[in-house]
Every structure is written in C-alpha cells, then in structure tokens.
Amino acid sequence: MDHARRWRRPELPEYVTPLALTETAYAKINLALHVRRRREDGYHELETLFAFVDCGDVLTAQPAEQDRAETIGEFAANLDNPFDNLVWRALTALPRPQGLHISLEKNLPVAAGLGGGSADAGAVFRIVEAIHGLPDDWEERAARLGADVPACVRSEMAIGRGTGTELEPVENDMAGMAVLLVNPRQPVPTGPVFKAWASVGDGADRGPLPDGPASQITREGRNDLQAPAVTICPAIADVLESLNDTDPWHVAMSGSGATCFALYESAAQRDKAAGILSELEPQWWQMVGSLR
C-alpha cells in the first residue's frame, strides 16, 4: 500500500469554519540517529528513529481575512523574524480559500534538537487539514520547509531515511513510555555539529540502524552527533551524566542537541527524576511527558 495514501485521513468537507482550533506541536526526539554516506548535494544520508512526546508548543488558530501570526510564551523572544519562521512559511505553503490568525505559544527552546520549528509547521498542516483538507502533494510541500517537517505533520513514530524525509513505519512498542526532556539552555545550531562530526568524529559511516521494533532500535542504536555536539556544548555531557544517575531505561541526546532525554518505565520514576534535577540544576529547562 502506498505509504502516503495509508497515512491520509478520510475526506473532509470542502469548507469548514471553526471558531477556534488548538493543536499541539509535539516535541520530536531522535531515539537513534545514524549519519551515513555524504551525498553529492553536500548533505549526508541519515537513518533515524523519530518519536514524539505528547507535549510541546501550542498553536491556536482562528479564521481571519488574511494570514496573521503572533508568538507568545517563554521562548518567543528567541525566534527570528515572525514573517520568516516555519509557522508563517507553512501558512504560505498551503492553498486555502480563507486566512488564518495563528497564535503560537512557544514552550520548546530554539535550536534544541526537538524539531521545534518543524513541529510548529506540522501543527499548521494539521490545522489546515482539519479546516480545508490538504493538497495531494502535501508531503512535497512539507519537505521543502525542512527535512523533519513531513514526520512532524503526522507526529507518529517512524523511521526516516535520506535527509529524513523518506518515512517508513516501525513497530511502536514504546507508546506511553514516560519521558523527561532536559536542556541546559544553550542553543546548538545544527551546521557546526555536522562540521564537528566530520572533523572530531572523523566522519566515518558506522553502519545502519538495527532491525526490529522501536525498543530494540533505541537500545542498539546510537546518535552519531552526540559526541561532536558535546565538543561544542560541554554542558550536554553534564545533562547526560545527571540523567544517567536517575535510574532510567535509556538516556541519549536528541538530534544535534542540546536537549537530552531520559526514558523511564513509570511516570513516578520520571517525576522523581525531574524533581531531583530541579533541585540540583534549577537553571536547566525541563519538560515531562510520554511517548505517543
């Protein structure tokens, strides 16, 4: 069965106008991230296991005569030009007979390895889908916005290949697992991390993702960007060490950093760990949730 078709929702009425619609931009984490061969276009082939946490930024949309976007929340000031962020670009990428006024509550740190902007764009796609439906080429439109955006539209666990846009289903035997996200409040741009991977990490291809269900890939996989990210942001190592001291099921860095995640077998364990870290490192950002 064609993968894109399998993921499409049932046809919706051509024109529906809700008074307001709220959508969560689910935080993206990479349970494993393998960097493979360098492509002719200068990018690298990636193999990653995308997972999504049941919390993140929050978007509220209302009908409007023309598109409008505003940002509030803890990390609103860290966004660039509001007319050049991914929320605005997602709005302009989708044909609609009506404008939308979107308010973005920015709860996720920027340049943090959580796909924050991509998650926001994915939420815009779901909002437009609920009101007007998506065009048949929505995956191509999403990919033009960023490599993580197609995965973030559905926000379902999946394997990503290529630059991350080629999605494959995976057995999700981790749904509901408790998650603690921790960031040392230090932004880490992706570009320098890849450069460090090529130099400090020698840029070697260390092999593909393991086969099996999500839990096996997580346990046996790796994040090839973790070590080079630590050379740029040493605080990542402190976060990883602190999380490993909380008796987790698994700990790793997400994406290119600096956010790290710990998985726990119960919400009680997660909440206890969050409390301990809040006392030890009150300046670190935290978010608790569960895997979708």
* Ligand-binding site membership of 111 (annotated): yes
Compute the C-alpha angle 224/181/24, nearest 5°.
110
* Ligand-binding site membership of 277 (annotated): no
Whole-angstrom distance, CA of residue 150 vs CA of residue 216? 24
Whole-angstrom distance, CA of residue 28 vs CA of residue 61? 22
List for the chain the helix, strand, coil content (%; round to 5): 35, 30, 40
Whole-angstrom distance, CA of residue 87 vs CA of residue 94? 11
Location of structure tokens 């539209």:
153
Reduced to 3 states (helix: H, G, I; strand: E, B; else coil), residue 74 is coil
Q: Which residues contact 27 (CB under 8 A, 6 or more apart)?
A: 52, 53, 55, 56, 108, 114, 115, 116, 119, 181, 287, 289
* Ligand-binding site membership of 61 (annotated): no
Closest CA to 135 of 87, 93, 89, 167: 93
Whole-angstrom distance, CA of residue 278 vs CA of residue 266? 19
* Ligand-binding site membership of 73 (annotated): no
* Ligand-binding site membership of 115 (annotated): yes
Reduced to 3 states (helix: H, G, I; strand: E, B; else coil), residue 70 is strand
Contact 43, 146 (CB under 8 A): no
* Ligand-binding site membership of 119 (annotated): yes
* Catalytic member of 57, 106, 120, 148: 148
Reduced to 3 states (helix: H, G, I; strand: E, B; else coil), residue 52 is strand
Tell me whether residue 28 is one of the annotated catalytic residues: yes
Location of structure tokens 């007979």:
97
* Ligand-binding site membership of 117 (annotated): yes
* Ligand-binding site membership of 290 (annotated): no
The residue type at 71: T
* Catalytic member of 2, 28, 136, 173: 28
* Ligand-binding site membership of 99 (annotated): no
**Annotation: binding site:** 109-119
Active-site residues: which are they?
Answer: 28, 148
**Annotation: binding site for ATP:** 109-119
